[in-house]
């Protein structure tokens, strides 16, 4: 049997540090923050009996560092201005609430394309150009409103059928004390996409808060259904089909049900973060709010993540947190 092929140091580092690709003409210089990455690469090459040196290049003309930074900001500001203009146009179309499915799909496609463009510009915005925050905020608003509009036309019906958002606005929601992965993620989903004014309280039984909407409690409308966790139930009931939300549902499912159904590499890290918060915060409201921040960050990072594959049975299990 032939011995396994060991990648050359250059190949290994190209895989481990893809963001350190050779600069293009528009990226005439790496930011100083990458210096540490190169130091690590140098150390690893030396450990593999290789040789490496790091050279710092300086400009030869009279341009100052401030002038170079200003040139970068000017270029990115133009990019952000164009994205902001298109985002305003998209938001206006979304606010008119198109009723036809093709029109809604066109807006969804346009929003996704614009999000990809914004992410591309953000990766080369080394000096925080003007217009950055406005573009992010406006596109976030467009995506939230588009997600809400997609569910608003669904009819309210019995268990297992789609629900209308209007009946769940500005409500108080109740769940069990000591929230874990399913309750943290579900509370985030509720406030982010279903009821932006949602308030959360805690009780051992739904009847202890009769006017509140219960979730992730035994025998209530929004809880586990079959092999689905509460987060997945909420996604289905309110027709939330965005890929990033589906991905989060897969992560929550694996941790909460401990069945490793989906191949999602974030499971172990998210599970550890949730467990850490449960050890830090003894007060339920604080614990829930900080847990929701994890899922807001996770949602933003997964906007362009590929769909997960279902995991084969028999893989290593993770600790479930309910």
Section 287-301 average pLDDT: 95
Q: For 212-242, write each residue's pLDDT tens digit.
A: 999 999 989 999 988 899 999 999 999 898 8
Q: For 6-22, write each residue's pLDDT tens digit.
A: 444 444 444 444 444 44
The domain limits of the chain are 65-152, 165-310
Q: For 31-61, write each residue's pLDDT tens digit.
A: 555 677 788 888 888 888 888 888 876 665 6
d(CA 132, CA 129): 6
Is the pLDDT at 195 greater than 60? The verdict is yes
**Burial (CB count <10 Å: 0-12, 13-18, 19+), residue 7:** exposed
Residues 6+ apart with CB under 8 A from 300: none
Residues of the chain above pLDDT 70, percent: 76
Q: For 163-178, write each residue's pLDDT tens digit.
A: 567 789 999 999 999 9
DSSP character for 194? I
Q: Which region, left, alpha or beta, applies to residue 249 given φ > 0 means left and ψ of -120 to 50 means alpha?
A: alpha
DSSP 257-301: H----EE-TTHHHHHHHHHHHHHH--SHHHHHHHHHHHHHHHHHH
Q: Which of 61-65, 152-156, 183-187 has the lowest mean pLDDT?
A: 152-156
Residues 6+ apart with CB under 8 A from 58: none
Is the pLDDT at 104 greater than 50? The verdict is yes
């Amino acid at each position: 049997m032939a011995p396994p092929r060991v990648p050359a140091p250059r190949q290994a580092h190209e895989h481990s540090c893809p963001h350190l690709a050779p600069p293009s003409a528009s990226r005439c210089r790496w930011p100083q923050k990458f210096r540490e990455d190169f130091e690590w690469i140098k150390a690893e090459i030396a450990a593999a009996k290789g040789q490496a040196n790091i050279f710092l290049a300086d400009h030869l003309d009279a341009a100052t560092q401030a002038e170079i930074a200003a040139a970068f900001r000017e270029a990115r500001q133009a990019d952000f201005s164009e994205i902001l203009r298109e985002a305003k146009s998209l938001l206006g179309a979304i606010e008119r609430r198109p009723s036809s499915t093709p029109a809604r799909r066109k807006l969804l496609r346009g929003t996704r394309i614009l999000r990809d463009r914004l992410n591309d510009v953000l990766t080369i915005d080394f000096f925080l150009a003007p217009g950055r925050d406005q573009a992010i905020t406006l596109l976030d608003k467009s995506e939230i409103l588009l997600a809400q509009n997609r569910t608003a036309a669904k009819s309210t019906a019995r268990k297992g059928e789609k629900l209308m958002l209007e009946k769940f606005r500005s409500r108080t929601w109740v769940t069990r004390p000591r929230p874990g992965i399913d309750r943290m993620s579900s509370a985030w989903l509720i406030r982010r996409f279903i009821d932006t004014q949602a308030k959360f309280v805690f009780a051992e039984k739904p009847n202890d808060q009769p006017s509140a909407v219960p979730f992730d409690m035994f025998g209530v409308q929004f809880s586990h259904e079959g092999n689905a966790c509460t987060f997945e139930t909420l996604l289905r009931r309110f027709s939330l089909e965005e890929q990033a939300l589906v991905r989060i549902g897969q992560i929550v499912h694996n941790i909460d049900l401990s069945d490793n159904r989906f191949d999602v590499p974030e499971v172990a890290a998210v599970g550890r973060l949730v467990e850490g918060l449960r050890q830090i915060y003894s007060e339920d409201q604080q614990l829930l709010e900080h847990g929701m921040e994890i899922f807001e960050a996770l949602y933003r990072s997964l906007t362009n993540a590929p769909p997960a594959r279902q995991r084969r049975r028999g893989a290593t299990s993770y600790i479930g947190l309910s």
